[in-house]
Every structure is written in structure tokens, then in C-alpha cells.
A and B are shown apart, each in its own frame.
Chain A
């Protein structure tokens, strides 16, 4: 077990930059029904192109800008042209930003505990934790915290898991990085006692992967939708099937969003690129389909701003984050 010696030290990169312009706060201010963000600015568990530690800062900036633009236009309601809906913004008091977890780049155990303690604290208070990376390893401690909180609150409850990603992340070890890194996070999640392995779903997996991982996942009942499946079935149908699978016998699902499921031609600002030919529009439609799910936790990872000086990677990621949170950010108005 990873040791727990980390206090919940919080900090902000800027007093004015919070996710979606949320009010900055602390764990003891989290209340039931809230959306509670944390940043996970860590990429020391990434094995190649680093830069995702700057992801939370960039996404705070971009989501705040998005929200300010919506607020300035939103008095008479906002028209969602893609879905044909008239939307209003939900009260901002329901969203809180707890700052960044205290990352220790030299100690993966301390980093794991720092993140897990925050998401556990949020979940225990009845709020929805939204953890922003950082590389994808950090998705594991984010999910670990949710699992620990759930185990305390409802020892017999189980939850499903959906990972949107270009990669399976199901290795047991990775070269010099051992068992805790951005290629092993999904396997570590599968080892959590209250995750139903057979309800685990992967969406967007592209190209060459380890065939024995595929065989093992499908052997225990997990479901893999390749990028080709997304193109063939359509993102909405994939979302429908994924939720149906992940929620078998469960009433909640954890969602892990790796931005690299998008084709790198659209989003080069990420460490482990794929050519999935999945477009931002398809990713958006997928998240629309997943947004109404009974989510118990979300992470969004692998946005690496230094790898894309154009800035479009974090802008696309911010828009995607808003889409998965649309039920929390918007409310439907009568046309």
C-alpha cells in the first residue's frame, strides 16, 4: 500500500484562474451536489514527451475564458446549435476549485496519496470530483480516492469504469517506470476491489497494442471500442453501448478521459500521440452521449501545452471538458 504522509496542501497558480471561473475553495467548503475540481500537475510518470504538468494551468485559463464568453452572451439563454437546445447557465456557486494536489515528482506514492485524499474527500462530501491532469497515471489515484470513499460509504456498492483513450494503459509494468506510470493506470484501476472488471470499457483505442492485454480484458468481460469502431458505429452509439455495459449491476460509473484519443493532426499537444482519425466533433458527440450518465468521478488528462504552441490543444480540451459537464454547467430552457 502506498504510504500516507501527505497533508492536503493546496495552492493556485493565479488567484483569478480557476476551472470555469469557479470560486476557489477548500475541501471543507465542498457540499453535496457540487462539482469540485482539482488539478494534478504531474508528468513525471510519463515515459516520453512530457509537458502535461502544465495542463491544469492551461485548462483553468481556457475554461475560465469559455465561461466568461458564455456569461457575456447568456442573458437571454444560449443556443446550442449542435443539439438545437436553448440553455442557461447553472448557478456558479455549485462549482468549486480546490486548487492543485501537492505533487511530489520524486515520490509517486506521495503524489498518489495527495490526489486520492482529495478526490476521496470530495466524494465523501457528496460532490462530484473532477480531476485534471497531468499525465494519465494520475487518473488512477483520482479513481482510487473515489473507490475509497465509496467503500466507506457503501461497502457493498460497485462501480463501472469507462476510459476514452488512444491506448489501453493496461500494462503491468513499463520499462524503467515500474508499476505506477501512464501505461499501467487502467490495470491499477482494475485491481480496485469495488471496480467491476467485467464492466470496464475502453473507447478510441487505436493502432498497434499488446494483443495479450486485449485477450485479458476481453477474457474478464471488458469491452474495447477501437477508433475504427467509433467510425463504424458512430460516437453516440458507442456511448450508448459503453454505458449499457459499464452500468450492468451498478448505479454509477467513473469516467477517465485521455485527450490523446483525438487524432494528433487535430490535437498535437499531448505526450503519446495516435492517428485515430477521431475528430473533435466525434469526441464531442461521444461525450454528449456520456454526459447524462450517473458519474461518480471524472478525470481529464494528458493535455501538454508546451507541445502545441498554437494553443488549440487546450482550447479543444476545454470545450470537451465543458461537454462532459454540460448537465452541471447548463440547464435546459424552454425554447
Chain B
């Protein structure tokens, strides 16, 4: 099932994530990535209009749908001289649409989120959750855990959080918290240490080479399945200004891309994007934050699908 076979202008066709085909849970197969919108924004006290996040992410991702269009034969990351093997991606990315949350109580929302995520995982696919505020994360994690995202093994689910506040009372596998938005409490630090994970601020990540970060991540995660929770607050506000929570620090795109590509090689069971408020900063930065997070997440998705191939740069050797 090809992603796109016609050279449509990018404003045409159905608005799905990266112009992927629309899919149903029952048709998912192992190895697929299933985009799922959860347009809610009343689950935290951070305010904002993150319910428009899934729409904004899909709109922006349409730009990258050209990676699979017939008028772009070989999408190339010119900065890193890598090409995308489109055939590897084709048929493995689908969009399930948005979860209908309007009129639900918070408890009903959590239940619905948990069940849909569990259903996706039950088919052997990886849910790509398009939030929504960061309050959806706990329900997503519950869905993953409930569906046996650990593949029936003994390893509990590990969590790599990017941005966000440190989760209180984490009881899963290793918790690796990168670029937290606030100084964590002593209890939170103890929780991270007891889980076998670690916490790293942006300054620490910058000092480490990607390989060193990867070594630490791989060492902490072991063979456990991982959920990656990306929140807009992990990016430095200098580059966008569209996050639900104002970060005191954050990574640039190139720093985040390097990190996320490394994370993409881990056994990812689920992925969530939260905290994008496309209305909060007004027109002056419309799209910049959306493009930022989408550009970053492509590295993770393509790495997860093992679809990137290096191309030697002979021009500036």
C-alpha cells in the first residue's frame, strides 16, 4: 500500500499525517506506525489550546508528504547527506484519525485513550500519539502497559521523556528524563534513580557526544520496550515560542535531531507528541514550532523504520 502515488499539490487530498493513507485499527500489522490524534487541552493547569495540536501537526506534516510523492524520487537530508529509502516506509505509516473526546469527562477520556492505545499495540503496531496536552501521557502509558507492550517479556516499559515535568510516582521500568522543564523534587530524583534511569539537562546533553548519550540510554533501557514522550517544552523557546509550558532551557533542532535519531534505534513501543499550542503566540510564529517538532520527529520515525541511508559528500571534503 503506497503512501502516495500521485503528484498532488500538498494542499490537496485528505489531511492525514504526512499524507499517509487513512487506516483502521483492525487493519494494522506488526511493524507499522499508526498516527492517532488526541485533541484535548483541559487535562493540565498549563492552559493553552493544544487541542489544535493534532490538526496543526497534520497540516505541517503535509509538507513532508512530498517525501513519498512521485515528483520527489529521493528525499534527501541535505545537512547530513542522507537519503530516505521510501520503499522501507511505504505501507508502514497510517493515520487512524482523531479520538472523539468532546463531551467526555477526564476519566472517560483516559479510559478511551487507554483502550485505543492498547488496541493499536495489540495489533503489533506502534502508536504515534498526536496531542493534545501533556496530561494524556499517563493514559497512553496505561494503554501501552495494559496491552503488554513489553511483548510478553519480563521487562517493564521504559520511558524516555523529552521536556515535561518529571512524572511523579513513576512505577514502570527505567525513567530517563531529558531536558526537564522544572527542577525536579528530591522525591522525583529518587524515583528516577530507583527506576534505573537518569536525568539529563540540556547543558549535560550538549557536552556529551551523541554516541555517549546513546551509550547511557542503551545502558539504562537494556532490552526493555520504550515509550518516547516528546513535549514541545524540550525545545528552546528561541527557536519557536509555541509550547504550552515555557521552558527554562531546551535543545536546538540540530541537538534534538541527533538525540531523537539515536533514540529511534531503540525498541520503541510508543511515541507521543504533546504540548504544541498553535494559537498561543499569535501569527508571528505560526508554523515555526510545528515545523520544528515535525522535523525533529522525522529523524526518530525514519530511524525507527531503518529507512535512512548515508550518501557521501564529495563536494566539501
Contacts and interface: CB of A to CB of B under 8 A. Distances in A.
B215 interface: no
30 contacts: A48-B10, A49-B287, A176-B9, A177-B9, A205-B78, A206-B78, A206-B79, A207-B78, A207-B295, A208-B76, A208-B77, A208-B295, A210-B75, A211-B73, A211-B74, A211-B311, A212-B73, A218-B314, A218-B315, A224-B78, A228-B79, A228-B254, A264-B291, A269-B284, A273-B287, A275-B291, A275-B292, A275-B295, A307-B286, A309-B283
B149 to A, nearest CB: 30
Interface of A: 47-49, 171, 173-177, 205-212, 214-215, 218, 223-229, 233, 263-265, 268-269, 273-275, 277, 306-310
Contacts, number: 110
Contacts of A308: 283-284
Interface residues of B, number: 42
A307 B283 contact: yes
B154 interface: no
B310 interface: no
| A-B pairs, 3 with minimum CB distance | A175-B9, A211-B74, A211-B76
Contact of A273 (B10, B252, B291, B316): B291
A265 B288 contact: yes
Contact of B79 (A173, A215, A226, A273): A226
B76 A214 contact: yes
Interface of B: 7-12, 64, 67, 71-80, 83-84, 238-241, 252-254, 282-288, 291-292, 295, 298, 311, 314-316
B78 A277 contact: no
B73 A207 contact: no
A241 to B, nearest CB: 8
A309 B282 contact: yes
A84 B219 CA distance: 51
Contact of A225 (B7, B240, B316): B316
Contact of B240 (A48, A224, A228, A265): A265
Contacts of B239: 263, 265, 275, 277
A306 B282 CA distance: 12
B71 A171 contact: yes
Contacts of A310: 284
Contact of B316 (A47, A210, A233, A264): A233
Nearest to A214: B76
A175 B8 contact: yes
Contacts of A214: 76, 78
Contacts of B11: 48
A159 B239 CA distance: 37
